[in-house]
Structures are given as C-alpha cells and as structure tokens.
Structure 1
C-alpha cells in the first residue's frame, strides 16, 4: 500500500513538472523539451531564480520610481509652503503700506483744512486783483500780468509756491509802478503815423503821446489794445 502511494505521488509530481515544463516551453519556444525529470527540475529551478530576479528588479525599479515621485511631491510641497510664506509676507507689507498711506492721507486732509482758509483768501485776492491789473494803465507797458492771477483764482487745487509768489510779486510791482512816470514805446492803434510811438504814463492814471500832437490814450486790457482817446466835440458858446 505504501509503495502504491509513493508511486502515485511520483506520478502526480511528474504531471506537475510536465505542466511547468509545458509553460516554460511556451515561454521559451526555442528550448528543447527536457529529457529527464532531473533536467526538468533543474530548468524549473533556473526559471524560478530568473523569475525571482526579474521580480526583484521590477520591485526595485518600482521602489526607485516611487521614491522619485515622493521626492518630487515633497519638493512641490516645500515650494508651495515657501510661496505661501512669501505671499503672507507680501500681504503683510502691503497692509502696512496701505495703513501708512491712509495715515498720510488723513494728515494731508488735516493740513489742507488748516490752510484751506488761507488759500481761499489767496484765490479771492488773485481774482479781484486780476480784474484791476487787466484794466490798469500799467499793463499797457507790462501786458499779460493778469494771466497767472486768473489761473490762481480759478484753480480748484491747492496753489503752488510759484503761483503764490506771482501774486505778491505782481501786487508789489503794481504798487511801485503807481508812483512812476515813465515813457515807453509801443504801437497805438488809431494813430496817424504807423509803427510804434513814444507813450508817456503817469502812474496808473494817464497815458498820452506827443506824436502827431499831444493826444490822450486809452487802454483796453481785454484785447491789449492802446488807442487814441477820441476828443469830445466842442460845446457851443
């Protein structure tokens, strides 16, 4: 009975080896069939070792690829963390700058409030003085002085240092010239002789010329026009 069981075991083993040999032969069609059980066993062991080595190599490659992917993931996470830190720092700097801008804006409005009345007086003075300068006989000698005053009077923003300087300089010049009697040359519109004529100015009051006889002149500041003052007709006696 024991001998029959042993024989049966051998037959089953041979059948198993035959299946393995068939699979090996299918995987390697150029290999000749094993001639004995011993050769078949050797081939099976060799194929097993080769399969194990191939599996280990693939497993190693997989582990390496996984390690590389993990390294890339870690690098990406690190870069993201760095960028988030930079973004937080920039946001904090932006908030600080915005707070400083708001603070300076408040200070500017307060300063404008303190000087607003002063600048309002300057604009009003410039407007009134521009009208006086425009029609002044002195402007026949120094035309265009009213323009800078008009700009200051009509400005909706804070006046510049140059505009404020122009205001007091124009006022000072007007006061000085009011006490002067001078002669200067310029064109007189309806004078008989063409070209420039000597014009006498007595302060801001009188303009006359002696060219073609003594004649009083009038000045139109709106057009910067100097012309002979028409004589009034003689009254009847």
Structure 2
C-alpha cells in the first residue's frame, strides 16, 4: 500500500512539469509552421517570377524564329530569282559569244605552249618582256582583251626573232662547287648557251645556268665564238635537240670508265694482257734478230757464228770424223735444243690467251650475281638499274675477249716464225748429213 501511495504522489508531483513542457513544444511547433509558411511563400513568389521571365524569353524566341523564317523565305525567293536571272544571262552570254569560246581555248593553249617554251628555252635568259602577258592569258577566266592578244602576238614574234640570233648575254652561273656568279655567254638562238666552259645547261625555272658533265669533241667556247663573230664567220658545233643529246653524252662512258666498271677482274685481265704483250714483243724482237743472223750465216756457211744455224754448222765441223748416224743424232740434238730456245715463252702466251676469256666469264657471272641481289633488295621497277648492272657485268667479258684475241694472234705469229727457223735448221742439218753420207760413200 505504501508503494501504491508513493506512486500516486509522484504522478501528482510531475503533472505540472508535463503540462509546462507540452505548452513549450506547441509554441515551438507554431513558430516552425510560421517560418515554413513564410519560406514557402517566398519560394512561390520566386517560382512565379521565374515562370514569368521564362515566358517572356519564350515569346522573344518565338518572335525571333518567326522573323528568321520570314527572312529565310525572303532570301530563298531572292536566290531563286538570282538563279533564274543568272541562267538567262549565261544563256545570253553563250549566244552572244558564239565561237569566241573556241577562240579563247585556242588562245589559252597557245599561251601555255609559249609559256612552256619560255621556261624551257634559253631565250628566257634575256627575252622575258612578254612573259607577264602570257601568264595573264594562261590564268585568265574570261575572254582575253585586245591588249593581251596583241601582247601574245608580239611575244611570239619576239621568240621567233630571238631564235635566229647569236647574242652575247650575261647569265647567273652555278659552278661545280655550288658557287653562283654572273658570267658572259653567247645565246645561240633557242638552241643553247655557250660559255667559256662550253655548252651551258639552262634551268628556266630557277633562271640559272649550269655546266654539262661532259662536252662534245671540238665543241664551241665563248672565246672561239667571240673570235668567229669578230671575223664575220659564224660556225659552231650545235645540239639541235637543245640539250637532250648533251645530257645523254654524260651517260656515254669513256674507255677509262669502262675499265673502271670491270672492277678487280678487269684489271687482272688487263694485267695479263700487259704481261702477254711484253712477252710477245720481246720474243718477236728476238726471233727477228735470229732470222737476220741466220740470213747472214747462210751467206757465209764456212765461218759459224753465235746463232742457231752457226751452232748447227759448228757441230758439223767438230763431228766430221764420226759416222753418218752419229752425226745425224748430234745435229738432231742441237736442233732440238735450238727449238726449245725458239719456242721459249710461247706456251705462256697460249696460257694467257686461254685464261683471259675465262676470267672475263668469271667477272660476268660475279656481276650478274650482284645485279640480281640488287633486284632482290629493291625490285626491278627501274629498268636502268638492271641495264646498268648487266652492262657493267659484261665489261669483263669484253675485256677478256679483247685480251685473248691479240694474245692468240701473237702466239700464232711467233709460232710460225719459230717453225720457219726450225725448218731452216732441219733443212741445213739434213743437207749436212747428206754431204757427210756422200763423203763416206766416196771414201768407201
């Protein structure tokens, strides 16, 4: 009971405090509602203002769109009208020009040809007065004026006159070291420029002259032409192709270039030819001397000299007391010894003559292998690469044949000379044996 009373008294004690807290909470709730209501009102006012602004912007954009549509329609109508008007004007222009369009095409084509001629020909070195008129006609999109047509005609006349002149001009010149300077040269019509070095290659685009890599034989020079013009004579070696043949002249190799293309094998072949030539000259001179000695010995057989026939006669003089068979063997032995001396070096000539073409074939095969290696690496799109490699490979074959033919000829000539001398010795030996046999027969 005490506990129940205690609980009732506690409830009665806390009741005023609970009522006070409840009233405080209600006040706070009312304050929060007022604040939330004010905030919502403020947001609603902002929303209404933003909606109004957006509506005004939308109305402005719609008005701008309508204005642009009206302008677009107006421009479209104007464009269509201009197109119709342009079509009518073009048709009217076509009808009014008539054949002038074809004339314009012919004039432009002629102007292009003349422009190419001025850029390529050496007349561009000093005859460029009408070059601007020609370029204007080439670049023109409308019919040329009478002034332009007159300038084109005068330019063509000027080029014709320039092609018949031998005139001294000053041109920019680039030497082999790359230095540029102004030099005097003779312009030989439209054919070429002739400087102190000979013919000059004219570059019309860069407006400079360069020397050709190779000049023709007896080609003109500035000093010679200067002398000719002062004496009234005008004669010179000319290139009618206007430089094409002179450029190809540089691609024509000389003998030294051919030998250089032969490489190591070619030089070996030439060395063999030199050795064979020395042997042939030495042995040929020796055989000529021997033949002269034999001729002199035939005129005086009683006094044997220091020559093959003299040595044969000397054996006969020493061996007169022997039998015919012994004398014959001694003479044969002497003739064989002399024959070896006469044919000395001929076997070497024969060997060199056989070895030279074989070396030439070796060089050709080696060169062809290198050519095919180049083709394997870079392809055969450029025929000049194949032609150049094959040409260089065949040089060794040519050198081998060139070396073999004179060596074979020398071997044949020297062998014939040696056989002739050997026949003379055999004939004299036979006559001596016959003489000894006659003496032996008469003694018996």
TM-score (normalised: structure 2):
0.27
More helix per residue: 2
More strand per residue: 1
